[in-house]
Every structure is written in structure tokens, then in C-alpha cells.
Amino acid sequence: MDLKKEVQYIKGVGPSRVKLLNKLGIFTLEDLITYYPREYEDRSKPKNIGELLNGEEVLISAYPVRAHE
């Protein structure tokens, strides 16, 4: 596999998708597989509600106790 292959030659990538990828600075297959989003949310470590700090953005795990009637 040639990582220097331009994205326009990847199956399923049409001209409009190429333009969008190019705007993100993605020109080659290598660029595409090494592209990381600007923001990343780590959802692997949920917190308990008692551990939260004011203003902190975290993942919590919750289960409904009863349905609203």
C-alpha cells in the first residue's frame, strides 16, 4: 500500500470529498490515517457524580430508577 497515494485515488472518495479533505490539510493516504480531530473526548474513564468538579466536562454512567408517569 502506497501511503503517498493521493486521496482522490482512494475508492469511494469523489471530487467533493477530496475538496473537503484538502481543506483539512489531508492530501495523501498517510495524511488521512494520521489525522486526529482537533478535540478528543476520552470516554474510557467515567466518573461518579460525587467526584465531579464544577464546570468539568466528564462522562457519567446513569441508569433510570423508574419511568416518569
Q: Give the tens place of pLDDT for each residue, 17-47.
A: 999 999 999 999 999 999 987 777 777 888 8
Total count of domains within the chain = 1
In a domain, 19, yes or no: yes
In-domain check, residue 1: no
Domain span at residue 22? 7-51
d(CA 16, CA 8): 10
Mean pLDDT (the chain) is 88
Residue 69 lies in a domain: no
34 inside domain: yes
Asked whether residue 57 is domain-assigned, the answer is no
pLDDT at 62: 78
- Residue 43 covered by a domain: yes
